[in-house]
């Protein structure tokens, strides 16, 4: 969303379902509340009533989603769906003949909400492709498929559907960075450059995430990534942002009243698979045949800089191919989208 909101206001739940939209809600709600105060919303809303607050916030969320999709569309980032035996796949993409860049979201998020601001900025220089991974957003799974390889095949099917014939830049955040690394390994002919962005591609143990969860009073990584209550959802922001934005409590409560139970069930199975096959993924012998780049938030607590430096050492990544975003945590593309995009452009030029 453009206008008076600062880049830090643009939020979402990057890896934490539903949380994402709240940021833009604050500014947008001022306009809606003005309409309410002027009697333009009829008698269906009483913003002093908790039930009405939840209905009010849900309507704002739905409006924001539509607005964001329309703004992407006006900037040339179009929405597509296609179907095969695996899923009904969802993807946004622009196609103007520029170099292609695939942006992959993190666990529990979706493409529109996590990459909304950054994609609009990057679209000036690249044709961007933003997909919803299996079990996320508007990609609807038709059969079980919870492995990283299943996600890789989803990406390949998406690129093939779009008719992309040249190699593309692949940028993956968090869980999406793990998927991106496997995609580059299995389909090197599709990838010109790989950007691993605050991601557990290797050199990371889920026990560390459990420790982070414990410091927040949570039982385990599942509660961290799939929050069971609005209060936990609010707590989870502390690992996403370096400076946590203000979001009213009733927004959290409202978002939690009507979760997408189908997608949450899929995400639980995706996480169960990651936990069960952790050792397999951590000893993955990647055979990268393209340049590798690293982008990390300076204050990422969930996947710390030690992981980035270990990847840098193992794959002999030179200093000029690594960028650290100051004053950012796990999701710099949401917290500081302009700074993130500037660093990404300079990194891969």
CATH code assigned to 7-348:
3.40.50.1820
β pairing state of 87-93 and 140-141: antiparallel
The three-class DSSP label of residue 83 is: strand
pLDDT string in tens for the chain (349-residue length): 334 444 443 343 333 333 444 433 333 343 344 343 444 344 444 445 555 555 555 566 677 788 899 999 999 999 999 999 999 999 999 999 999 999 999 998 899 989 999 999 999 999 999 999 999 989 999 999 999 999 999 999 999 999 999 999 999 999 999 999 999 999 999 999 999 999 999 999 989 999 999 988 888 989 889 888 888 888 888 888 999 888 777 667 766 655 467 788 899 999 999 999 999 999 999 999 999 999 999 999 999 999 999 999 999 999 999 999 999 999 999 999 999 999 999 999 9
Q: How far apart are CA 344 and CA 341, in angstroms?
A: 5
Q: What is the pTM of this model?
A: 0.84
Buried b (16+ CB within 10 A) or exposed e, 6-25: ebbbbbbbbbbbbbbbbbbb
Helical residues (DSSP H) of the chain, grouped into ranges: 22-37, 50-74, 111-122, 148-162, 175-186, 206-215, 221-225, 230-240, 249-257, 261-276, 278-282, 305-314, 332-335, 337-348
What is residue 24's predicted lDDT score, i.e. its pLDDT?
Answer: 39
What is residue 327's predicted lDDT score, i.e. its pLDDT?
Answer: 96
| Among candidate residues 311, 269, 346, the one with its CA nearest the CA of residue 181 | 311
What is residue 49's predicted lDDT score, i.e. its pLDDT?
Answer: 54
What is residue 58's predicted lDDT score, i.e. its pLDDT?
Answer: 53
**DSSP one-letter string for 129-145:** EEEPPTTSTT-EESS--
What is residue 30's predicted lDDT score, i.e. its pLDDT?
Answer: 38
What is residue 33's predicted lDDT score, i.e. its pLDDT?
Answer: 40
Q: Are 250 and 53 in contact (CB under 8 A)?
A: yes
Helix axes 50-74, 22-37, angle to 10 degrees: 110
| Among candidate residues 166, 203, 164, 198, the one with its CA nearest the CA of residue 286 | 203
What is residue 256's predicted lDDT score, i.e. its pLDDT?
Answer: 65
Q: How far apart are CA 238 and CA 232, in angstroms?
A: 10
- What residues does each domain of the chain span? 7-348
């Amino acid at each position: 969303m453009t206008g008076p909101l600062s880049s830090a206001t643009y939020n979402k739940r990057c890896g934490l379902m539903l949380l994402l939209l709240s940021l833009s809600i604050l500014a947008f709600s001022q306009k809606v509340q003005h309409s309410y105060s002027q009697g333009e919303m009829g008698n269906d809303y009483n913003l002093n009533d908790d039930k009405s607050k939840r209905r009010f916030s849900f309507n704002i969320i739905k409006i924001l989603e539509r607005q964001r999709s329309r703004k992407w569309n006006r900037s040339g980032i179009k929405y597509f769906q296609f179907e095969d035996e695996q899923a009904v796949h969802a993807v946004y993409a622009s196609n103007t003949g520029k170099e292609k860049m695939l942006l992959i979201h993190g666990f529990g998020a979706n493409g529109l909400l996590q990459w909304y601001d950054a994609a609009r900025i990057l679209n000036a220089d690249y044709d961007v492709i933003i997909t919803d991974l299996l079990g996320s957003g508007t990609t609807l799974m038709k059969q079980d498929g919870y492995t990283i390889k299943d996600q890789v095949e989803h990406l390949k099917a998406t690129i093939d559907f779009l008719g992309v014939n040249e190699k593309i830049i692949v940028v993956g955040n968090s869980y999406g960075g793990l998927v991106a690394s496997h995609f580059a390994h299995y389909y090197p002919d599709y990838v010109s450059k790989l950007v691993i962005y605050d991601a557990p591609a290797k050199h990371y143990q889920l026990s560390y995430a459990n420790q982070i969860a414990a410091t927040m009073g949570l039982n385990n990584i599942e509660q961290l990534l799939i929050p069971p209550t609005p209060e936990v959802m609010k707590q989870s922001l502390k690992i996403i942002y370096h400076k946590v934005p203000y979001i009213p409590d009733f927004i959290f409560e409202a978002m939690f009243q009507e979760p997408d139970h189908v997608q949450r069930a899929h995400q639980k199975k995706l996480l169960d698979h990651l936990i069960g096959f952790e050792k397999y993924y951590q000893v993955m012998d990647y055979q990268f045949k393209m340049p590798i780049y690293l982008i990390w938030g300076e204050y990422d607590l969930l996947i710390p800089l030690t992981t980035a430096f270990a990847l840098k050492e193992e794959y002999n990544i030179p200093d000029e191919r690594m960028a650290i975003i100051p004053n950012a945590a796990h999701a710099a593309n949401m917290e500081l989208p302009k700074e993130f995009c500037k660093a990404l452009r300079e990194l891969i030029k």
